[in-house]
Amino acid sequence: MAEATPGLGIEIRHLYKVFGRDPVGHVELAKQGISKTELNEKYGHVLGLRDISISMPAGGIQVIMGLSGSGKSTLIRHINRLIEPTAGEVLIGGQDVVKMDDQALREFRRHQTAMVFQKFALLPHRTVLENTVFGLEIQGKPRSMQEQAARYWIERVGLKGFEDSYPNQLSGGMQQRVGLARALANDAPILLMDEAYSALDPLIRVDMQTVLLDLQKEIRKTIVFITHDLDEALRLGDRIAILRDGEVIQQGSSQEIVLNPADEYIANFVKEVNRGRVVQVEAIMQPLSAGVTPNVTATAGTTLEEAMSLLSAAQSYELAVVDDNGSRLGMVDMQGIMAAISRSETPRPAAKPTLVKHVG
């Protein structure tokens, strides 16, 4: 197989979506701050998204999280323009998807994006192999190329030997692996996953998260992953944006959100999170003290839980945080680790959250 096409950055700027008979005529009310309830009760229009601005770096996993009705699925469908925006821009590789004509949009959907659905969306009369080549058929690729790509990705997602099986012969987890293989076979730079694992049992869900993370180390696609599950968001997301009532309440890394929730709504989301498994040593490290040379080291990216194990094994109180080249970046001690885990003190070095003002 040829090397996978790398991801493209996505820039969403001031995106609004109003549902109703005259959305353009009512979007100005949304810009002025009318509440979702008032827009519906007084004007008979529904506010889907309000002033969404998110920068999604190429090759990363951007998680969009929120409860039911928060607008997360509406948002992801704007990226490939399955839903028409009322106002705003969706820039991908420098092109505004909102301004594409019909032909350009069709080509964009065929070659630049692939989607993995919550309900698998497999064709029941097609085998695993035939489902996996489906997108390549639409692209008009030669049959030999279709099969080569399909067999490669079927094997990569752990389904080798099931090429001739039909969807009704597979478990839910296996069916979702087919959906993932089909999306990857298209080799699109952007992978859209709308609650892709929500229908799976918890153990299978964790297994599929692992599959995705392992593959992402190689493929480096730009993945937009929708979920309502905080644990899933924290495990998968390089960046996380949390929505409520169509607005971004907070966005940032998992550590920024856990350590510095923007408001009570976010704080309630993260209050039961095991910080030791999420927060990494560089988020709480202090500058190296003069004359202090800890003999225990941990690379940036080490979780606080892992750091505690290192210190306990070495019967030491402090460790140095180093980069991949071994250069010392700072230090943490057991007291700082325990304070961060127990929430007794918000660690000073943690970056401030990106807070988006919301109304209503």
Mean pLDDT over 58-80 rounds to 93
pLDDT band at residue 353, thresholds of 50, 70 and 90?
very low
In angstroms, rounded to a whole number, what is the distance separating the alpha carbons of residues 233 and 229?
A: 6
User: pTM of the full predicted structure?
Assistant: 0.84
Mean pLDDT over 291-298 rounds to 84
Residues recorded for the chain: 360
Is the confidence at residue 27, as pLDDT, over 80?
A: yes
Mean pLDDT over 76-82 rounds to 94
Question: What domains, with CATH codes, occur in the chain?
Answer: 10-270 (3.40.50.300), 275-342 (3.10.580.10)
Is the confidence at residue 110, as pLDDT, over 80?
A: yes
Q: In Å, how far from its chain's centre is CA 302?
A: 21
Site of tokens 């087919």:
178
Res 119: pLDDT: 75
Mean pLDDT over 32-55 rounds to 95
Establish how many alpha carbons lie within 13 A of residue 187's alpha carbon, considering only the half-sphere containing its beta carbon: 14
Dump pLDDT digits (tens) for 2-18: 567 777 899 999 999 99
Tokens of 216: 């992402």
Q: What is the mean pLDDT of the chain?
A: 88
Mean pLDDT over 227-233 rounds to 90
Q: Which residue has the higher pLDDT, 341 or 38?
A: 38
pLDDT band at residue 154, thresholds of 50, 70 and 90?
very high
Is the confidence at residue 197, as pLDDT, over 50?
A: yes
Nearest to 40 by CA among 275, 211, 246: 246
- What percentage of the chain carries pLDDT values higher than 70? 94
Res 152: pLDDT: 93
Tokens of 320: 């140095």
* DSSP-based helix, strand, coil % in the chain, nearest 5: 40, 20, 35
Res 209: pLDDT: 93
Query: Which residues have C-beta within 8 Å of that of residue 18, sequence separation ≥ 6?
Result: 24, 26, 27, 30, 39, 45, 46, 47, 48, 86
Res 349: pLDDT: 46
CA-CA-CA-CA dihedral for 32, 33, 38, 43, to nearest 10: 30
Q: Which residue has the higher pLDDT, 292 or 107?
A: 107
Q: What are phi and psi of 221, to 5 degrees?
A: -75, 165
Contact 170, 135 (CB under 8 A): no
Dump pLDDT digits (tens) for 259-283: 888 898 898 888 888 888 888 998 8
Nearest to 232 by CA among 262, 181, 273: 273
Contact 259, 97 (CB under 8 A): no
**Neighbour count for residue 334 (Cβ, 10 Å):** 15
Mean pLDDT over 165-181 rounds to 91
Is the confidence at residue 347, as pLDDT, over 70?
A: no
pLDDT band at residue 97, thresholds of 50, 70 and 90?
very high
In angstroms, rounded to a whole number, what is the distance separating the alpha carbons of residues 169 and 171?
A: 7
Q: What are phi and psi of 90, to 5 degrees?
A: -130, 100
Is the confidence at residue 59, as pLDDT, over 60?
A: yes
In angstroms, rounded to a whole number, what is the distance separating the alpha carbons of residues 264 and 328?
A: 36
In angstroms, rounded to a whole number, what is the distance separating the alpha carbons of residues 244 and 242?
A: 7
